């Protein structure tokens, strides 16, 4: 079932899966139960995006719930690899230092 967006006057936007035939009908807010009208929250941004960008964005939103930043190793792969290398080196040095002479 496709997911549609609705706007509760009290609680704000929420999404709900509904059959396509019912998508234009108001949906009960999961917070307060008020019937909320359908809104198109994602439409304005999507209109200016290419189809490819939209697909990529959708995929990203689905994989992260749209709530989280990408993990550091995705944001800066080169920097992350360097950091890992340094951390490993440090660990080795510490292991050597703690070894009894």
The residues binding Zn ion (CB under 5 A) are 8, 10-11, 29, 31-32, 34
Per-residue burial over 3-17, b = 16 or more CB atoms within 10 Å of its CB, e = otherwise: ebbbbbeeeeebebe
Q: Minimal distance in Å, beta carbon 28 to Zn ion?
A: 9
Closest CB to Zn ion among 33 and 71? 33
Q: Minimal distance in Å, beta carbon 40 to Zn ion?
A: 19
Closest CB to Zn ion among 18 and 54? 18
- What is the chain's alpha carbon radius of gyration, rounded to the nearest angstrom? 24
Beta strands, E only, the chain? 3-8, 12-17, 27-28, 35-36, 38-39
Closest CB to Zn ion among 35 and 86? 35
């Amino acid at each position: 079932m496709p997911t549609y967006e609705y706007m509760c006057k009290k609680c704000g936007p929420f999404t709900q899966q509904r059959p396509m035939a019912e998508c234009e009908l108001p949906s009960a807010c999961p917070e307060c139960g008020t019937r909320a009208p359908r809104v198109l929250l994602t439409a304005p941004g999507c209109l200016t995006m290419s189809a490819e960008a939209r697909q990529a964005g959708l995929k990203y939103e689905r994989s992260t719930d749209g709530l989280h930043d990408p993990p550091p190793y995705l944001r800066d792969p080169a920097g992350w690899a360097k950091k890992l290398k340094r951390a490993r080196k440090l660990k080795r040095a510490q292991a050597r230092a703690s070894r009894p002479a």
